[in-house]
Structure 1
Amino acid sequence: MSYIELAADLRSAIEQQDTAAIRHLVAEMQLADLAEFIQHEQEDTTLSLLDYLPLDERASAFGYLEEETQSALAAEMDDATLAELLHHMSADERADLFKLLDEARQQGLLRRLAHAEREDIRKLASYEEGTAGALMTSEYVAVPAEMDVATALEKVRRTGPNAETIYQIYCVDDEGRLTGTLSLREMILANPHATLASLMVEELVVAKVDTPQEEVARLISRYDLMALPVTNGGERLVGIVTYDDAMDVAEEEATEDMHKSVSVGKLEGGLRSASLFDLYRKRIVWLVLLVFANIFSGAGIAYFEETIEAYIALVFFLPLLVDSGGNAGSQAATLMVRGMATGDVRTRDWARLLGREVSVAIALGLTMALAVSVVGIFRAGTEIAMVVAMSMVLIVIMGSLIGMILPFLLNRLGWDPATASAPLVTSIADAVGVLIYFAIATAVLGLPA
């Protein structure tokens, strides 16, 4: 059965209080699907549904929940129940949940955990959010580089059940420094008496504990890694970041950039759980600023009042022209911001991209001018059509250049290029477009400036 069918049946079973059906359906659902279902339920219903799962599966399902839901559910559990849940969670998810709790609750839970778990939580929770240290897990398989394959495989069998992944084996020296890596497949096919040092790959892609999480995701994507090793300042292996965690980071970063592209701040917990006040607060600042930015467009229109009075037909083409400039600028800005985010575009590429953008913008402007000139001739005559066509070319060129240059400028100032959002580019391009249009009209139609 599909998730939609299972969810509908589970909803019906809950309404009918059919315990046997609930137990069966909960067991049938994938843990990620169950987490999606209970995300929308009240805390007491969610906890009762989780109780139908074995403890290890309950811990896994809990890890799929959003932070806000985890925090609310943790508040409903007593310390003993929550400590038992933490014990069965993966190391990185356990640390993430631990950081959501207040300090008094944290101390009470630490007293109920084993010494190794306490130290692991303290270590993982100490790293700054948004870094590889905060993202990594300490559950990995590391073996001495001088160990032979047969002995190493035996160690993998002992430690593998608790590891996040066993497909990549990390080789360390006597002090725990990372010296190389090899795959489980290579170990299985190798001579049992060969040492790992003779088989391992020594040219490694590694992150530091303070490496930004978006850089971690980029490295995993670029080199097609199952997991990325993380070292401390002394090159000692302290954890790994797996590809699934990197995918979550990539999605989070893409969502944040998309929000910025429409002048919306980061929404903690997502759109569905955001409060009305948060939605208002995240949107109002930029909207107010852009209101004042649009005053420049109004000032430009006011400056050319005499031109407008003499040729009222010019007003008909004003929205068409300024919107074209804003649209061209938004396209250019989106391409630049995305290129910079993926590493495809760098600051040193500025001059080469500028030349290309000018060429493309000229071609776009000429094509759009040709299309609009036909409308101009039928609507207002040849002179107005010539003004509109000339304006279209220049406005599209200027809009495209604004959209391309602004992300580079913001990046040079140390700001996020995603701030070069569509509304900001459009507002600037609108003001420039108004000035270009009426300046050309004034000059071509022989009116006083």
Structure 2
Amino acid sequence: MTNAHTIIHTLIKNEVWTLLKEELTKLDVPAIVTLIERSNELQSTILFRFLPRGKAKQVFQELDPSKQKKIIDGLAQHATLLTNLMNDIEPDDRTALFEELTGKVAQQLMQLMSKENLQITTQLLGYPEDSIGRLMTPKYVAVKSHFTVKETLSHIRRFGVDAETLSVVYVVDQNWKLINDLRIRDILLADPDDKIDDLTKHELIVLSAFDDQETAVHVFKDYNRVALPVVDSSNTLLGIVTVDDILDVAEEEQTEDFHRFVGVKDAIINPVQASVSFIYKKRIGWLMALVLMNIFSGYAMSRFDTVIESMVSLVFFLPLLIDSGGNAGSQSATLMIRSLGKGDVRGRDWVRLLSKELAVALLLGLTMAVGVSVVASWRAPDIIPVVSLTMVLIVVVGSVVGMLLPFVFTRLKLDPATASAPLITTICDISGVLIYFSMAKLYFGM
């Protein structure tokens, strides 16, 4: 912890409130967020109470949801502070907070909000969970197409104070139907007497309030925008979504996919706060399933007792061969999952990708066969043909399995990230044992 943090916690402990307020004014928003995140519930509440109203809003919006809930609990006896906070924070951030709260607490907080903010929040909460409607904010600047540039700039100065962003201005008709959007740069560089309608000649990109949030992630990436308009089925402008909210969604999706990929189906947002029993229950089912699958690997080996007894040197290369297949499969699965998640690959592409994966896997297998042949020439030269051919086959099998599993999961309406590395490794273990000892039995005529 930094010296400033130590000083502030000492001031709280000694109840030196005047100096505490002075010290907090010296810190910027990120520093205060870090300080509150590292403080206990009582310290966090005290720190928040001494923040100026404007800074309190900024800090609260940057806090982790679990810390936000603790501050809400700590401020329960301070109605004025809570009222200010609920009315000050941005609509999309307020909606995200309400999603984390129990119905009773959310209802109590709604009673503190202004009529306008309550109406906005109720509207946003009415959209499906994980929809773009939950992310959007109604705080934007819209102008009419018949405005001149001069009138538009005057309008922006008058109504743009509370806008989420002024990088983009939206053009609507008399019925609030979206016509187009304009970058503020284009407006500033235009002649003051130019009509807005004359500046809106580019393609309009919009989002539907009912689309999934992942759709917005792909659109922002493809078009490199800082904000996009959100419309309903009749093209009425409802709000906008900004890139900072989309970055949060993308991070959540990547975190969830990562946890699923390593075998934890339900992502644990904060493993420090999760109980031992919770983590245990989320992991044991998957691991027990893999244990049962590995029984088949042991059974397969037992069917080749005669081969193993005749050529004990075969056992030396078994871990190397099956690990190679598992590693190749995990590589392939990782690439496919990432490509599916980014939208670069669609379900119908599996046939075309299969032929490409077979070619790559064959080259990889041949290269790795050369390496294992060198090792075998020193350890057991007589089994070089067996380990070399097995290496090629097992790398091809592992790569194909790793590539196909994400597509199978997608077809079954499951998250492709659940095609995890342990599952691929287990499949490669079983197939590797069968391929290796079958090849040995065939080659040596046993």
Q: Match of 2:25?
A: 27
Q: Match of 1:445?
A: 444
Q: Match of 2:418?
A: 419
After TM superposition, list the pairs within 5 Å mapping 1:246-285 onto structure 2.
246-285=246-285
Q: Match of 1:149?
A: 149
Q: Match of 1:134?
A: 134
1:162 is paired with a residue whose SS is coil
Return 13-22 or 157-166, whichever deviates more.
13-22
1:294 is paired with a residue whose SS is helix
Structure 1 residues 84 and 421: alpha-carbon distance in aligned structure 2, compared to 1, 3 A threshold:
same
2:225 is paired with a residue whose SS is coil
Q: Match of 1:430?
A: 429
Q: Match of 1:345?
A: 345
Structure 1 residues 362 and 10: alpha-carbon distance in aligned structure 2, compared to 1, 3 A threshold:
farther
Return 180-189 or 71-80, whichever deviates more.
71-80
| Displacement after TM superposition at 1:28 (Å) | 3.1
Q: Match of 2:66?
A: 68
2:353 is paired with a residue whose SS is helix
Superimposed CA distance per residue, residues 139-178 of structure 1 (whole angstroms, 9 cap, x where no aligned partner) = 1111222222222222211221111101100011111111
Structure 1 residues 100 and 353: alpha-carbon distance in aligned structure 2, compared to 1, 3 A threshold:
closer
| Displacement after TM superposition at 1:270 (Å) | 2.7
Q: Match of 2:387?
A: 388
TM-score of the two chains, using structure 2 as the length reference: 0.94
Structure 1 residues 16 and 122: alpha-carbon distance in aligned structure 2, compared to 1, 3 A threshold:
same
| Displacement after TM superposition at 1:317 (Å) | 1.1
Quote the Cα distance in structure 2 between the aligned partners of 1:366 and 1:193. 70
Structure 1 residues 368 and 192: alpha-carbon distance in aligned structure 2, compared to 1, 3 A threshold:
same
After TM superposition, list the pairs within 5 Å mapping 1:34-49 onto structure 2.
34-49=32-47
Structure 1 residues 265 and 82: alpha-carbon distance in aligned structure 2, compared to 1, 3 A threshold:
farther
Superimposed CA distance per residue, residues 214-268 of structure 1 (whole angstroms, 9 cap, x where no aligned partner) = 1101111211101011111221111111111111111111111111111112335
1:425 is paired with a residue whose SS is helix
| Displacement after TM superposition at 1:332 (Å) | 0.6
Structure 1 residues 20 and 32: alpha-carbon distance in aligned structure 2, compared to 1, 3 A threshold:
same
Q: Which runs of 5+ in 1 are unaligned?
A: none
Quote the Cα distance in structure 1 between the aligned partners of 2:10 and 2:431. 59
Quote the Cα distance in structure 1 between the aligned partners of 2:347 and 2:241. 29
Return 16-25 or 284-293, whichever deviates more.
16-25
Quote the Cα distance in structure 1 between the aligned partners of 2:136 and 2:368. 51
Quote the Cα distance in structure 1 between the aligned partners of 2:385 and 2:5. 62
Return 8-17 or 142-151, whichever deviates more.
8-17
Kept in 2, the 8 Å contact 1:383–1:445? The answer is no
Quote the Cα distance in structure 2 between the aligned partners of 1:309 and 1:13. 75
Quote the Cα distance in structure 1 between the aligned partners of 2:111 and 2:293. 57
Q: Match of 2:179?
A: 179
Superimposed CA distance per residue, residues 88-112 of structure 1 (whole angstroms, 9 cap, x where no aligned partner) = 1111112222333333333333333
Q: Match of 2:166?
A: 166
Kept in 2, the 8 Å contact 1:56–1:89? The answer is no
Amino acid at match of 1:299: Y
Structure 1 residues 31 and 191: alpha-carbon distance in aligned structure 2, compared to 1, 3 A threshold:
same
Q: Match of 1:377?
A: 377
Q: How many residue pairs were aligned?
A: 444
Return 90-99 or 401-410, whichever deviates more.
90-99
After TM superposition, list the pairs within 5 Å mapping 1:84-123 onto structure 2.
84-123=84-123
RMSD of aligned residue pairs (Cα, Å) = 2.0
Quote the Cα distance in structure 1 between the aligned partners of 2:421 and 2:276. 24
| Displacement after TM superposition at 1:8 (Å) | 5.2
2:51 equivalent among 50, 53, 60: 53
Structure 1 residues 89 and 415: alpha-carbon distance in aligned structure 2, compared to 1, 3 A threshold:
same
Return 174-183 or 72-81, whichever deviates more.
72-81
Return 82-91 or 101-110, whichever deviates more.
101-110
Q: Match of 1:228?
A: 228
| Displacement after TM superposition at 1:33 (Å) | 3.1
Kept in 1, the 8 Å contact 2:207–2:231? The answer is yes
| Displacement after TM superposition at 1:443 (Å) | 0.5
| Displacement after TM superposition at 1:212 (Å) | 1.2
Structure 1 residues 277 and 64: alpha-carbon distance in aligned structure 2, compared to 1, 3 A threshold:
farther
Quote the Cα distance in structure 2 between the aligned partners of 1:54 and 1:399. 59
Quote the Cα distance in structure 2 between the aligned partners of 1:335 and 1:302. 35
Q: Does 1:397 align with 2:396?
A: yes
| Displacement after TM superposition at 1:21 (Å) | 5.5
Kept in 2, the 8 Å contact 1:267–1:278? The answer is no
Q: Match of 2:335?
A: 335
Superimposed CA distance per residue, residues 387-430 of structure 1 (whole angstroms, 9 cap, x where no aligned partner) = 11111111111111111111122222222111111111111111
Amino acid at match of 1:261: F
Q: Match of 2:190?
A: 190
Kept in 2, the 8 Å contact 1:182–1:201? The answer is no
Amino acid at match of 1:417: P
Structure 1 residues 117 and 164: alpha-carbon distance in aligned structure 2, compared to 1, 3 A threshold:
same
Quote the Cα distance in structure 2 between the aligned partners of 1:10 and 1:385. 69
Q: Match of 2:199?
A: 199
Kept in 2, the 8 Å contact 1:136–1:240? The answer is yes
Amino acid at match of 2:324: S
Structure 1 residues 278 and 239: alpha-carbon distance in aligned structure 2, compared to 1, 3 A threshold:
farther
Kept in 1, the 8 Å contact 2:86–2:112? The answer is no
Structure 1 residues 268 and 438: alpha-carbon distance in aligned structure 2, compared to 1, 3 A threshold:
closer
Q: Which runs of 5+ in 2 are unaligned?
A: none
TM-score of the two chains, using structure 1 as the length reference: 0.93
Kept in 2, the 8 Å contact 1:181–1:201? The answer is no
Quote the Cα distance in structure 2 between the aligned partners of 1:170 and 1:110. 30
Kept in 2, the 8 Å contact 1:96–1:125? The answer is no
Amino acid at match of 2:66: E
| Displacement after TM superposition at 1:379 (Å) | 1.8
Return 30-39 or 221-230, whichever deviates more.
30-39
Quote the Cα distance in structure 2 between the aligned partners of 1:106 and 1:117. 14
Kept in 1, the 8 Å contact 2:49–2:81? The answer is no
